[in-house]
Amino acid sequence: MQADSNDVTLRGAVGILANPRAGGDVRRLAARASSSTLESKRNQVTRVAVGARAAGIEKVFIARDPLRVAVAALENLSLELDVEVLDVGAQHNADDTRRATEAMRAAGCGSLVVLGGDGTNRIVARAWPEAFLVPVSTGTNNVFPRMIEATLAGAAAGLVAAGRLDGAEVASKAKQIRLRRADGSQDIALIDVGLFVDDIIGNLMPVEPAKIRSVVLARAEPAAVGLSPIGGLLEPAGEDDDFGVVVTCTAHEGGGRPLLVPISPGLYRTVHVAGARRVALGEPIPLCGPGILAFDGDREIELGPDEEVVLRIERAGPNVISVERALSLAAQRGLYLDRGPFHDGHGILPECC
């Protein structure tokens, strides 16, 4: 596994990051997004640990959170696995994920399994750009994480962290959107940056189409919900494509071509599109205020009148482990043959099950 020169990875250690807030915001009322309960997250954490142990992992790191999602999932698990709980001073806000990621990086985790949505993974990517991770969907408008069985996510992450597979042969560098302001400050998004008018920072409601002015997409996926399909239904750009998409939108009275888009789960709205085009990696994309900038769905920055920012789509995101590729290689190389106490298929079954 290739790692940044500043990183010290611990062979046999996987970090499990579970966002207890993912999949539970107001969009369950404003649209038809499904809920991810605390109990379902705990069950996923347990399955990640089981999969990682079967892959050869001897230690996992989890973070203490106010709702005890990860701690409760593993505290009574009958498994020959060293579980280290990191106390990061969690306060039940988005910064908990940053602190947990930084702590797992400092502890030397070889890989991460992230249970959350696009926003959670964005925080992880900002805190540890070189991480090898398996993103598992538990959020709302998810494009970056996938709906994948948690046991298999743990297995793939475990095979890499244990050194039984080289991360470079089973992971791909993700695209991201890098934003630079006039004062030199920067930020990133993994999937999309939207410029909205007449909106407010922190708003979690699905965006009203008439308020969308520009959308910059690292991935324009037709089979997604949120901002990504605004480009994906016109000019698709997948995770492996070395280009992105920029879409310009107007209010209804401003004209534009009407496009029916799943703006949130179970919620279609008509967006009026003035234009959509591909952009090469590294090409500067200027956006000008006034308006609110949303990063992977989170409205975070207010631009003043005539304030300009420059965005670029780069292949500089985290290293995303392909579960299918990892387990296919494990099969080809017989990595699950003669696994000692696991050979009979019963060695890692929790007593409670």
Tens digit of pLDDT at every position of the chain (353 positions) = 333 434 444 457 999 999 887 655 555 455 555 567 889 999 999 999 999 999 999 999 999 998 899 999 998 888 889 999 999 988 888 889 999 999 999 999 999 999 999 999 999 999 999 999 999 998 666 899 999 999 999 999 999 999 999 999 999 999 999 999 999 999 999 999 999 999 999 998 899 999 999 999 999 999 999 999 999 999 999 999 999 999 999 987 778 899 999 999 889 999 999 999 999 999 999 999 999 999 999 999 999 999 999 999 999 999 999 999 999 999 999 999 976 554 434 344 444 43
Q: Residue 78's pLDDT is what?
A: 81
Q: Compute the distance between CA of residue 82 and CA of residue 61 in angstroms, rounded to an integer.
A: 9
Strand order in the sheet with 186-189: 186-189, 176-180, 308-314, 285-288
- Report the topology of domain 10-174+318-342: Rossmann fold (3.40.50)
Q: Residue 138's pLDDT is what?
A: 85
Q: Residue 21's pLDDT is what?
A: 74
Query: DSSP label at 146?
Result: B
Q: Residue 346's pLDDT is what?
A: 39
Full-model pTM: 0.88
Q: Compute the distance between CA of residue 97 and CA of residue 126 in angstroms, rounded to an integer.
A: 10
DSSP 158-198: HHHHTTSS-HHHHEEEPPEEEEE-TTS-EEEESSEEEEESS
Q: Residue 91's pLDDT is what?
A: 86
Q: Residue 255's pLDDT is what?
A: 80
- Indicate the domain borders of the chain: 10-174+318-342, 176-314
Strand order in the sheet with 319-321: 82-86, 59-63, 10-18, 109-116, 132-137, 319-321, 171-173
Q: Residue 141's pLDDT is what?
A: 63
- Report the topology of domain 176-314: Tumour Suppressor Smad4 (2.60.200)
Query: What six digits make up the tokens of 270?
Result: 């008509």
Beta strand ranges found along 38-152 (DSSP E): 59-63, 82-86, 109-116, 132-137
**Helix, strand and coil percent figures for the chain, each rounded to 5:** 25, 30, 40
Q: Residue 320's pLDDT is what?
A: 98
